[in-house]
Structure 1
Amino acid sequence: MRQIAAQVGVQVGALYNYTPDKQGLLLDIMNRHLNELFEAWQAEPKPDDPIGQLEAFSRFHVRFHVTRPDTMFIAQMELRNLTPENFEAVEGLRRRYEGALEAILQEGQEGGLFRITDVRLATMAVLALLTGVANWYREGGRLPLEEVERIHWEMVRSAVGAGAS
């Protein structure tokens, strides 16, 4: 809490006007991030076919996370610091979003569009690939965001055994 206070330029005691403790702060950050993520995905236009949906999901996920690297990092790396009850709450939100991708992959597998051995494992692998971008991408870097999205989509497409776009 001292580090947070120093970063935002307030006394440690002032933070407790907004959150009771570090646990509450972590839970609030994670809940907000995951709710915003899911709501933004729900609002995103989606094609009717699984391949188009997977492309939309891939591009959306990259775009969403590169604009929020700090909250993405906390939502991914601080899970170990949650109480069991708070972990369960956050995990429920994560599963809701993961379920959206899993449903796309399941539909594509059932329709013969994707060659996936294990849909749940593929879901987690795709999310790991797409989420990692936020750790290294910087605006103004070697590649523009649109190109990073395109390349990641091609990697996802290939990973699930979908035909060339």
Structure 2
Amino acid sequence: MARKTGSHSQITGPRVREAALRLIARHGFAAVSMRQIAAEVGIQAGALYSYTPDKQTLLFNLMREHMDALLNDWAAVQKPEGGMAQLESFARFHMGYHLPRPDLVFISYMELRNLSPENFAVIEQLRKTYETEVELILKRGQEDGSIATQDAKITSLAIIAMLTGVSTLYRQDGRLPETAVADLYWDLVRKSVAP
């Protein structure tokens, strides 16, 4: 089928991803069809396959793009000296990155079970890379005496889970601004590992 008049891959491709993201976050991966995604974008269902070979690849690409961007953005952050200062930098980065992306955060955690084993392995490795960053920060803090924890790995996972959870609680029109919520969450993280 011919491409719809006025449709361009650099415009339609991102619209396909945005529609898939929105629909999967709202209804769940299993409940969303390729026809629904195409209808949301305003293209024929068959034209959707010009942008993705299948729904599994679409889900995988959403998660992969999220993890790649997350890791790249964290790598670009100027890290302060000292374990506790680095942990604060990480906590504020994590919240600042995730708060504007609640649908992506939801999908990245709740739809892992719908990835094929091969795709799951790729995403799991990217997640481990990110989790290891926190574990290393905690170990640095243990070495310089600014952080106390019995198990850096478990603590790193708990911190990431808590910080990611803010996405389900925070509302732009809520009673506290984003900065106040970030301050409160940082205080909880700090107190959980303070010596």
Q: TM-score, normalised by structure 2?
A: 0.78
RCO higher in 1 or 2 (8 Å CA, sep ≥ 6)?
1
In structure 2, C-alpha distance between the alignment counterparts of 1:6 and 1:105, rounded to whole Å: 47
1:42 maps to what in 2?
75
Largest Rg, 1 or 2: 2
RMSD: 1.4
2:180 maps to what in 1?
147
2:48 maps to what in 1?
15
Deviates more, 1:102-111 or 1:78-87: 102-111
What is the percent sequence identity of the aligned residues? 51
In structure 1, C-alpha distance between the alignment counterparts of 2:186 and 2:178, rounded to whole Å: 12
Deviates more, 1:145-154 or 1:112-121: 112-121
Structure 1: gaps spanning 5 or more residues:
none
**Paired amino acid for 2:92:** R
Q: Is 1:105 aligned to 2:138, yes or no? A: yes
Secondary structure of the corresponding residue to residue 108 of structure 1:
helix
| Contact 2:83 2:142 (8 Å CA) reproduced | no
**Paired amino acid for 2:53:** P
**Paired amino acid for 1:29:** L
**Paired amino acid for 1:95:** K
1:73 maps to what in 2?
106
- CA apart distance, 1:103: 0.6
Structure 2: gaps spanning 5 or more residues:
1-33
In structure 1, C-alpha distance between the alignment counterparts of 2:96 and 2:158, rounded to whole Å: 18
Q: TM-score, normalised by structure 1?
A: 0.92
Q: Deviations over 1:17-42 (max 9, x none)?
A: 11111110011001100011111111
- CA apart distance, 1:75: 1.1
Secondary structure of the corresponding residue to residue 180 of structure 2:
helix
Given the alignment, which residue of 115, 123, 147 partners 1:82? 115
| Contact 2:98 2:105 (8 Å CA) reproduced | yes
- CA apart distance, 1:128: 0.5
Q: Deviations over 1:103-132 (max 9, x none)?
A: 101111233322211111101100000001
Residues 126-137 of structure 1 mapped to structure 2, 5 A cutoff: 126-137=159-170
Secondary structure of the corresponding residue to residue 153 of structure 1:
helix
2:93 maps to what in 1?
60
| Contact 2:66 2:104 (8 Å CA) reproduced | yes
Secondary structure of the corresponding residue to residue 96 of structure 2:
helix
